[in-house]
Homo-oligomer: A and B are copies of this chain.
Amino acid sequence: MATLKDVAEKAGVTVTTVSRVINNRGYIGEQTRQKVQEAMKELHYQPNELARSLSMKRTNTIGIIVPHIVHPYFAKLISELESEAAAHKYKILLCNTKAETKKELEYIDMCKSNRVSGIVLCSRNVDIKKMKNLDIPVITIERYLDAGTVGIECDNYQGGRMATEHLIEAGCRNLIHLSGIKNENMPADARAEGFRDVCKEHGIQHREMLSNNKIYSTMDYHEYIRQAIREVPDVDGIFASSDLIAAQTIQVCNELNLKIPDQIKIVGFDDVDIAKYTTPMITTIHQPVHEMASWAIEFIEKSLRKEVIPEQLKLPVSLVKRQTT
């Protein structure tokens, strides 16, 4: 690979001059600038970002830590974060923890060693003590962390209310909520609260079913859904806490010959691509993932400029009516 010195020799100038052209610093005559640029082009010279990062003590990189890449919610979130980061000249260092605490800690250390500009944390179990002394802005999305990190979430409680009200308005009188993970304290748990409150307000029969960590890590909810329907055989409405669970609920209803939406109605959560690819398409609660990603990158930039940023940001959700209701 060509060096600064090679370029200087080719252009017949000093290394300092080449460096000035690259960094656009000090006075350089137009003719000299052109000579240097031509030499760089001919030699396929690439400025060394590493050296630049070392002098800045950080890289233009943002670490993204997720529990799953293939989960449609995280795939969408990663995609939105990458777009937004690229628009602000940041690169993405992608870390997949497979929901393992050990991997989460390793990845945080890796981000520190690599002097990232910020971390967007969408994983679950990180030890809060580890987050102190980080000196790097950490933004969480849909996760709680209280050690000086910034949390972005959607209005999960309102989302739970909207989904439940929609099912009741559509005529459902016996509801199930296929909800979050047992013993994990997450913002998404508020979806269940919204469900519960609306059912109580309307005097509607209802049942909540918690899933577990094992199901979450395999993403296979079929048996859990079958079990829920076995326990409440006359269920006529299901609010699933993700579109992924809703898609699998459609499959289980199909197995059991339950017609959607005639005999049973389904509302999902997230509004990710899979909600548009199932048959029927899923009525769901739209999470503003694009806006959440955009705020995350903005908060990292503000934090690097030492500006005060909010501790918590909650964004509104909306109902997207499709074919399962």
Smallest Cβ-Cβ distance to A252: which chain B residue? B279
Whole-angstrom distance between the alpha carbons of A113 and B96 in the complex?
Answer: 25
Interface size class, chain A: 35 or more
Which B residues are CB-close (under 8 A) to A49?
113-115
Q: Would A281 and B92 be within 8 Å (CB), given that A46-B113, A79-B70, A114-B50 are in contact?
A: no
Which B residues are CB-close (under 8 A) to A254?
279-280
Expressed in whole angstroms, the minimum distance between the Cβ of A176 and any Cβ of chain B is 19
Which B residues are CB-close (under 8 A) to A82?
69, 94-96
Which one of A11-19, A51-59, A158-166, A307-315 contacts B? A51-59
Do the beta carbons of A48 and B115 come within 8 Å of each other? yes
- A207 within 8 Å of B (CB atoms): no
Q: Would A79 and B92 be within 8 Å (CB), given that A44-B133, A109-B46, A251-B279 are in contact?
A: no
Most B-side CB within 10 Å, residue of A47, A96, A250:
A96
Do the beta carbons of A1 and B135 come within 8 Å of each other? yes
Do the beta carbons of B251 and A281 come within 8 Å of each other? yes
Q: Would A50 and B46 be within 8 Å (CB), given that A75-B75, A82-B69, A83-B96 are in contact?
A: no
Do the beta carbons of A50 and B44 come within 8 Å of each other? no
Whole-angstrom distance between the alpha carbons of A68 and B83 in the complex?
Answer: 11
Which B residues are CB-close (under 8 A) to A59?
50
- A248 within 8 Å of B (CB atoms): yes
Expressed in whole angstroms, the minimum distance between the Cβ of A95 and any Cβ of chain B is 8
- A226 within 8 Å of B (CB atoms): no
- A247 within 8 Å of B (CB atoms): yes
Which B residues are CB-close (under 8 A) to A113?
46-49
Expressed in whole angstroms, the minimum distance between the Cβ of A218 and any Cβ of chain B is 11
Which B residues are CB-close (under 8 A) to A91?
93, 95, 110, 114
User: What string of 1s and 0s marks CB contacts (under 8 Å) between A1-35 and chain B?
Assistant: 10000000000000000000000000000000000
Do the beta carbons of B94 and A94 come within 8 Å of each other? yes
Which B residues are CB-close (under 8 A) to A110?
91
- A112 within 8 Å of B (CB atoms): yes
Expressed in whole angstroms, the minimum distance between the Cβ of A266 and any Cβ of chain B is 12
A residues 228-258 in Cβ contact with B at 8 Å: 244, 247-248, 250-251, 254
Smallest Cβ-Cβ distance to A79: which chain B residue? B69
- A303 within 8 Å of B (CB atoms): no
Expressed in whole angstroms, the minimum distance between the Cβ of A19 and any Cβ of chain B is 15
User: What string of 1s and 0s marks CB contacts (under 8 Å) between A148-181 and chain B?
Assistant: 0000000000000000000000000000000000
Do the beta carbons of A115 and B50 come within 8 Å of each other? yes
17 A-B pairs with CB atoms under 8 Å apart are: A46-B109, A48-B54, A48-B113, A49-B114, A49-B115, A50-B50, A50-B59, A50-B114, A50-B115, A54-B54, A69-B75, A69-B82, A78-B94, A82-B95, A83-B98, A219-B273, A254-B279
A interface list, Cβ under 8 A from B:
1, 44, 46-51, 53-54, 57, 59, 61, 68-70, 72, 75-76, 78-79, 82-83, 86, 91-96, 98, 109-110, 112-115, 133, 135, 219, 244, 247-248, 250-251, 254, 273-274, 277-281
